[in-house]
Amino acid sequence: MVKVDSPVQAAGFEKPALPLSDELAQEMQKLDQMFWIDQQKLKDITKQFKVELDQGLKKNNQNIPMNITWVLGQPHGDEKGSFLTVDLGGTNLRVCWITLPGSRGQPSIVQEKYQLSKEVKTGTANQLWDEVADRMQTFIRDQRLDEKATQPLPLGFTFSYPAMQDFIDHGVLQTWTKGWDVKGVEGEDVTIQLREAMEKRKLPVKLVALINDTTGAMIASAYHDPETIVGAIFGTGCNAAYMEDSDSIPKIAGRLPPACPVAINCEYGAFDNSHTVLPMTKYDHIIDKESPRPGEQAFEKMSAGLYLGEIFRLALIDLAKRNLIFHNQDISRLDKSYILDTGFLCAIEDDRSSGLQNTATSFEAHTGITLNTQERQLCRYLAELIAIRGARLCACGIAAICSKKNIEHGHVAADGSVANKHPKFKRRWADALAEILEWDEQRTEDPIVLTPAEDGSGIGAAVIVAMTLERARKGDDAGVKEAADM
């Protein structure tokens, strides 16, 4: 394995060769040092990751929650039936009617997607659940599911936020993430609140399972790919789920049979909230301070898609206000928080136009600022530095799980905009994982591979509902609070 010593080498990208002022050249070097995470630092982060994963399994209210999902075992592939699923994600609400054919066949999906307004994301509990229930009611009516149903429609509710679950069909929101801040939901059982909204509308629905999108991605992928070892989200937020033996979870001692595999929703965006090992920059500190939850989700704020564009913007603002770039230009539009997103950074990295003209055109459209040739190159380089750091950090969480479980081979089923859309994320992530786990440099293929996740919030939720109902019918009600007699 070739040791990578700099972001330039990692990215295969050369620093701008144009003449730079001494001040700007020094700043470029500082940015190198600021954002680069070398092999030893990756290992240090992974080591601390393992410590915090274990702490979360021992008791509740730890840095990394390690939430028990009560999804027991992997799917066998013969799950079948039709199920309603609702996915409350970071940006959209999706309602689906999914039919599993069994025999690992391809599920059929009928779905509608609804964009969530800022008012819903930052409003009250009643606003949120009324919105969800109204959309469900519309979908059920439009698909005429109420006319066909002879019993309540079984629902899998994908809730992509940290929820502590004592049962698979209940869950208490621990904290909002992804920039959400809905009043009256934190510390409350979200399934009770949703049930009340559904009952108010007399919806013919029974909530069977509350599911995290990461767990859903793992189960959906395992439904078709038995080599799936971890489900991961590298998108607006970052997280992972994996199967843990009940014997290794002291905080639920006695609630499950010995050696029973149970899915753990790590919620490791909160890793290192105490700032003991993560190399935070001044820009990371600004993002944390100005976020709805300062002091929380430290790891997520350095590596997830919601924040990469903002880190980029803050660095440019810093350079501009020190008169190193954008001379004699109005930068007031660039002063607006989150005006540049991760998609913008992806486009810069993927720009193959002559003289990075596409970058210049897009930048001017977003900010009103005209980039000269040097500034185009600087933007490209800075975008690479930030994206490389994010990918390398994302490898640490997976490396910690694999190291902890002695997993040497398998597939990490990844979903999310960064994993799916960033042109170089997969290679950078794999290179970092190789550095941490010290894979043989003579290998012909990577032993642990990032694969596209199946539809976790849809298919995964449906499979989990099917698994839960099957267990209930067999009299196995471990982790199920309400009778699933359907």
SS3 of 1, please? coil
Same domain, 433 and 334: yes
Say if 478 falls within a structural domain.
no
Tell me which DSSP letter residue 16 carries: P
Domain membership flag for residue 285: yes
Considering the domain architecture, whether residues 236 and 90 belong to the same structural domain is answered as no
CB 217 within 8 A of CB 71: no
Residue 484 lies inside a defined structural domain of this protein: no
CA pair distance 312, 308, nearest whole angstrom? 6
Examine the domain organization and report whether 115 and 259 are in the same domain: no
| Within-domain flag for 372 | yes
Kindly state the helix (H) or strand (E) to which residue 321 belongs, with its residue range.
helix 305-321
Residues 449 and 464 in one domain: no
Query: What CA–CA distance (Å, rounded) separates 259 from 247?
Result: 6
Give a yes or no: residue 319 inside a domain.
Answer: yes
Residues 184 and 238 in one domain: no
Domain check: are 268 and 353 in the same one? yes
Q: Which pLDDT band, with edges at 50, 70 and 90, does 3 fall under?
A: very low
pLDDT digits (tens, 9 = 90+) for 18-43: 567 788 888 888 999 999 999 999 99
342 and 395 inside one domain = yes
Q: Which of 102, 139, 192 is nearest to 467 (CA)?
A: 102
The whole-angstrom separation of Cα 377 and Cα 44 is 32
Residues of the domain holding 124: 68-224+456-473
Tell me how far apart the 2 most distant CA atoms of the chain are, in Å.
Answer: 76
The CATH number for 337's domain is: 3.40.367.20
| Residue 2 clears pLDDT 50, i.e. is over it | no
Q: Report the pLDDT averaged over residues 155-163.
A: 92
Are 195 and 231 in a shared domain? no
Residue 91's pLDDT is 80
Q: What does residue 59 show for φ and ψ, rounded to 5 degrees?
A: -155, 165
Q: Which residue is it, tokens 């067999």? A: 474
Per-residue pLDDT of 307-344, as tens digits, reads 999 999 999 999 999 999 999 999 999 999 999 998 99
Q: Summarize pLDDT for 43-83 with one digit per residue, the tens.
A: 999 999 999 999 999 998 899 999 999 999 999 989 999 99
Instruction: Give yes or no: residues 271 and 405 share one domain.
Output: yes
Q: Is 234:425 a contact under the CB 8 Å cutoff?
A: yes
Checking if the pLDDT of 408 tops 60, the result is yes
Rounded average pLDDT over 192-212: 96
Asked whether residue 102 falls in the same domain as residue 28, the answer is no
28 and 91 inside one domain: no
Tokens 């469900």 found at: 136
Question: Is 479 part of a structural domain of the chain?
Answer: no
Q: Is residue 481 part of a domain?
A: no
Q: What is the number of structural domains in the chain?
A: 2
The rounded distance, in Å, linking the Cα atoms of 73 and 262 is 6
pLDDT category of residue 16 using cuts at 50, 70 and 90 = low
Q: What is the pLDDT of residue 7?
A: 55
Domain of 174, CATH number, reads 3.30.420.40
- CA dihedral over 400, 403, 406, 412, signed as positive or negative: positive
Same domain, 465 and 442: no
- Does residue 380 belong to any structural domain of this protein? yes
Place of tokens 């290179």: 431
Q: Enter the pTM of the model.
A: 0.87
Question: Is residue 11 predicted with pLDDT exceeding 50?
Answer: no
